[in-house]
Chains A and B, each alone.
Chain A
Amino acid sequence: MPGETSAAAGTRRPAPAIGVFVAVALWCAVAARVGGQQAPTVAAAASLNPALPEVAERFARTRGTKVQLVFGASGTLTRQIQDGAPFEMFLAADEEFPNRLTAAGLTRDPGVVYAIGRLVIFSPAGSALSTDARLDGLARLVKTGGVTRFAIANPEVAPYGRAAEALLRARGLWDALRPTLVLGDSITQAAQFAATGNAVGGLLAYSLVLSPGFANRGTYALIPQSDHPPLRQRMVLLKRASPTATQFYDYLQTAAARAILQRHGFAVPQ
């Protein structure tokens, strides 16, 4: 009977396969426990992506303790914190999102403004968009119908996107541009769209355009701060903050950390 022979042939095979599998699974489960004490996790606005790792590295070198950085849109991170994400500190790109956490009783105190962000208009190499502080080049390109895709961050979750929307509305370009807008999940994703030439340009964070990833990718012009609501970036310690997180919070207000932020295109509060 064919069924019987194949059953007999098969009986010897599964044992080693299952043995190997169980061994691997157990090893993986054990490896999970060995991780031990974790460095505090800090949630940070995407615009800090190039600057904050440098600050954290300097902090680790001088203080001997590490922090782990997680980047995302301020709104996304706020939502995650409200849903119970185990962050100990939050550096936002605006004041509204951290204030919302403070109002919900999730922070230790209202926190401080640690930096003021700047918006730039960026045009990738080869794009027809010319960049200037008044957005005249963008207005011209809109008139001639030359804008196929224009990148900003999603205004609902990213403060830089919200600033970009306010600026475009103030310039009277919002309605004309709207069908062409591509919205990044965060300002880094919007930057990705623009830098790779998949959009004719975008309104991005100055700190990102200054990062090594943007070297020789295109041209940009700094937008005057008075042209959009200020990007006052506030940080807060969350209720669960450990001493290390508190130290990092204090360190961000030192001259050394401020110098790094300034070098990455942020203004610092007096």
Chain B
Amino acid sequence: MDWAALGVSLRLGAGTLLILLPFGVWLGRLLAVHSFRGKLLVEALVTMPLVLPPTVLGFYLLVTFGARSPLGEAFQALGGQSLPFSFQGLLLASVIANLPFVVQPVQRGFEAIPRDVRDAAACCGLSPWQRFVRVEAPLAWPSILTAAILAFAHTLGEFGVVLMVGGNLPGQTRTLSVAIYDRMQAFDDRGAGVMAATLLTIALATLMATTALSRRAGERRG
């Protein structure tokens, strides 16, 4: 078992949530409640990582931030490590790749709140922030939790982008999924097997948790 790789995976999952959850809740609610020009485009952009192969994201990240790109050169001139092949670069890729996994459930969650509930809250004199914290968030929280679990699990399973922009660096960008590939190539079937079983267990637990959550949410509403 490659504990360093498990650590990288968990850190990547937690970091992704830390950045993406506040943003995703804001964007998901915005898309659910308001209609505005270009909403269709925003929704399509958010969903895109779901249908594009990870190699497309990897390609653009390398072209934009790689050491040979203007941005990457500027970064290195300032004495920094360029974004690809670093944990921060992986984090950026992971946040983009997980956008649909957070925004979509959140949006559905807020859409399910009847309009008159929000109106009633406004009539009671609650400020927009109070309305969000005391009325909308409690109603939508199963969706938010589902989004968080899905994004976390999906981050643990991410492989293509990680290999492309991460480069398999132990302790930094070698996640559990890349470590499995690495062990397979080294003919270490036992090592790969242990890690594969770990990911399998996490995935199963995650999906059971999300299913249970959405069922509970459904019962409460029904």
Chain A residues within CB distance 8 Å of chain B: 3, 6-7, 9-11, 13-14, 17, 21, 24-25, 28-29, 31-32, 35, 38, 41, 46, 49-50, 68, 70-72, 80, 82-86, 186, 188-189, 191-192, 195, 211-214
Bound CA–CA A256/B169 (angstroms): 27
Q: Enumerate chain B residues within 8 angstroms of A83, measured Cβ to Cβ.
A: 62, 66-68, 72, 82, 84-85
The stretch among B10-18, B26-34, B47-55, B93-101 that forms the contact with chain A is B10-18
Q: Is the CB of A35 within 8 A of B171?
A: yes
Q: Is the CB of A10 within 8 A of B138?
A: yes
B43 on the A face (CB < 8 A): no
Q: Enumerate chain A residues within 8 angstroms of B67, measured Cβ to Cβ.
A: 82-84
Looking at the assembled complex, report how far the CB atom of B142 sits from the nearest CB atom of chain A, in whole angstroms: 8
Contact of B182 among A14, A24, A71 (CB under 8 A): A71
Q: Please report whether the interface of chain B is mostly helix, strand, loop or mixed according to DSSP.
A: helix
Q: Is the CB of A28 within 8 A of B141?
A: no
Given the known A-B contacts A6-B139, A70-B169, A214-B187, are A86 and B81 also in contact in the complex, defined by CB atoms under 8 Å? yes
Bound CA–CA A104/B172 (angstroms): 26
Q: Enumerate chain A residues within 8 angstroms of B134, measured Cβ to Cβ.
A: 7, 11
Bound CA–CA A35/B8 (angstroms): 11
Q: Is the CB of B139 within 8 A of A3?
A: yes
Given the known A-B contacts A82-B68, A189-B185, A212-B187, are A14 and B137 also in contact in the complex, defined by CB atoms under 8 Å? yes
Chain B interface bracket (under 10, 10 to 19, 20 to 34, 35 or more): 35 or more
Chain B residues within CB distance 8 Å of chain A: 7, 10-11, 13-15, 17-18, 62, 66-68, 72, 76, 81-82, 84-87, 113-114, 117, 134-135, 137-139, 141, 144-145, 148, 167-172, 182, 184-188, 220-221
Q: Enumerate chain B residues within 8 angstroms of A7, measured Cβ to Cβ.
A: 117, 134-135, 138-139
Contact of A10 among B10, B11, B139, B182 (CB under 8 A): B139
Q: Enumerate chain B residues within 8 angstroms of A80, measured Cβ to Cβ.
A: 85, 167
Looking at the assembled complex, report how far the CB atom of A247 sits from the nearest CB atom of chain B, in whole angstroms: 19
Which of A17, A21, A38, A46 has its CB near the most chain B CB atoms (within 10 A)? A21
